[in-house]
Structure 1
Amino acid sequence: MVTLEGKTVLITGASSGIGKACAEKFAELNAKLILTARRKERIDILAEELIQKYKVEIISSKLDVRNFNEVKSFYESLPDEWKTIDILVNNAGLARGLDKFYEGKIEDWDEMIDTNIKGLLYVSRVIVPQMVERQTGHIINIGSTAGHEPYPMGNVYVATKFAVKALSQSFRIDVLEKGIKVTSVDPGMVETEFSKVRFRGDDERAKKVYDGLQPLTPQDVADAVIYAATRPKHVNINQIILTPLAQASSNFVHRKK
């Protein structure tokens, strides 16, 4: 196991769910953290909690990954000693709506494509060059089982996660001679704010997604991220797919009655 003490880790979408759980796990291992999200008040509170608990260094910053100029300005504004980012966790992402593609809402499509694909690209384009220059680093993209097979009415969300899978594989080829690791962590059903966001705050509809089964927790996914991040220098974990025991694939779920 490679130590993460003193390593600088940037996590996007760190205000809740998988991103927040990753922040907690990396802080526990004494990494320096840069936490970003659109909801700054949440990451500020999280940062303060982690600083108090683990005595680690943290920068928290409001960031909308959909805006390339904002991403670029954010990185340029970091103190010089924080610009050497060792691990990038591209976690920011979301689903909107659950409709047949011919009934889909254009604003939902745009938000998913802009966040899940373009946001991941924008952040990677800004952060990875310094890894290439130093010939070391690790890119960890949070994908989904939806990136391996479609499910009914998933269409555009599924397409964005297929894109994350393809981009992770392409990144790996592009940096093969640069000493940079690339990992895709692809969870199935995880109980976070995911469904609440998808259904725009409809709590009842969101809760039904997990009826009759025990879903993954954000901490389960964060454990997989940490496993990948702590392998020896010569080992690259290309992809991790994890699901609840009750889920065999995107389309096969066992629910207790």
Structure 2
Amino acid sequence: MASQRTAVVTGASSGIGAATATELAAQGFHVVLGARRTERIEELAREIGGTAHRLDVTDPESVERFCAAFGPVDVLVNNAGGAHGSAPVAQAVEDDWRWMWETNVLGTMRVTKALLPRLVESGDGHVVTVTSVAALEAYSNGSGYTSAKHAESALHRTLRFEHNGEPVRFTEVLPGMVETEFSLVRFAGDSERAAKVYEGMTPLQAKDIAEVIGFAVTRPPHVNMDTIVVKARDQLTATQAYRHS
């Protein structure tokens, strides 16, 4: 009997990360959950039979401790990330930009760099990076986030070149509007403003993205799903959506 495969999910305390951990566990993976909110990932780990370890992707020492806490890895889902603020460039808040670049770009680099040798050694490794449709478009008042997601996407796509011919696959998933804590975090806890993002439309749910990730990582080893853009039917662009009356 083949040994159980291991999947690592960052940003697993809520939203897409938590849903992905649940989905991969249901597909037979042992899931290692990483996030700063340890009480959340510990509870979820108990529910799905996984393992939880604290992880702050903006802290190199935290990444090192996290990656040293487990052994072989078959799948890595880089999900940790997010947005802070919505100021135009002329009023840019450097601390917001710094957080977004540390979390989305450098965080993804740190975890991927640490685990790549093990992913290759597995003989069928897979790196999934959850970026955003913001990696494809620019829009007003979103430059800090869109620039970080463009950079994270470029980082991920570069890996495909650097490891071509090795037994590791790379899939980028670019979600559109997903109803999670994303907007609540972006707008510093303003729930009314966050709710307006999805007002009058039917947004995606975290489970929708998790199912896409689950499908990608369970394809035969010769199949690499390079880039998957997922939007709600009502969504046209990063900022345009049909709003039902």
Q: TM-score range by the shorter chain?
A: over 0.9
Q: Cα deviations across residues 104-151 of structure 1 (Å, max 9, x unaligned)?
A: 211111110000000000000101112234443000000100000112
Gaps of 5+ in 1: 52-57
* 1:59 is aligned to 2:51: yes
Gaps of 5+ in 2: none
- The equivalent position to 1:176 in structure 2, one of 156, 164, 167, is 164
Aligned to 1:10: 8
- The equivalent position to 1:23 in structure 2, one of 7, 21, 44, is 21
Structure 1 residue matching 2:100: 3-state secondary structure? helix
Aligned to 2:130: 142
- The equivalent position to 1:220 in structure 2, one of 208, 223, 227, is 208
State the distance in 1 between where 2:147 and 2:167 align.
Answer: 29
So what's the TM-score if we normalise by structure 2? 0.96
Q: How does 1:63-212 map to 2 (within 5 A)?
A: 63-78=55-70, 83-212=71-200
Is this contact kept in 2: 1:15–1:42, CA < 8 A?
yes
Q: Cα deviations across residues 195-217 of structure 1 (Å, max 9, x unaligned)?
A: 00001111111001100100000
Q: Give the counterpart letter for 1:236 in structure 2.
A: N
Q: Cα deviations across residues 161-208 of structure 1 (Å, max 9, x unaligned)?
A: 111221121011111111210000001000000000001111111001
State the distance in 2 between where 1:159 and 1:135 align.
Answer: 34
So what's the TM-score if we normalise by structure 1? 0.92
Is this contact kept in 2: 1:5–1:30, CA < 8 A?
no
Aligned to 1:235: 223
Q: Give the counterpart letter for 1:99 in structure 2.
A: A
Q: Share of identical aligned residues, percent? A: 39
Is this contact kept in 2: 1:192–1:217, CA < 8 A?
yes
**Alpha-carbon offset, residue 160 of structure 1:** 0.9
Question: CA separation of 1:105/1:5 partners in 2, compared to 1, >3 Å: closer, same or farther?
Answer: farther
**Alpha-carbon offset, residue 159 of structure 1:** 0.7
**Alpha-carbon offset, residue 86 of structure 1:** 0.2
Is this contact kept in 1: 2:73–2:115, CA < 8 A?
yes
Instruction: Number of aligned residue pairs: give it.
Output: 244
State the distance in 2 between where 1:134 and 1:217 align.
Answer: 31
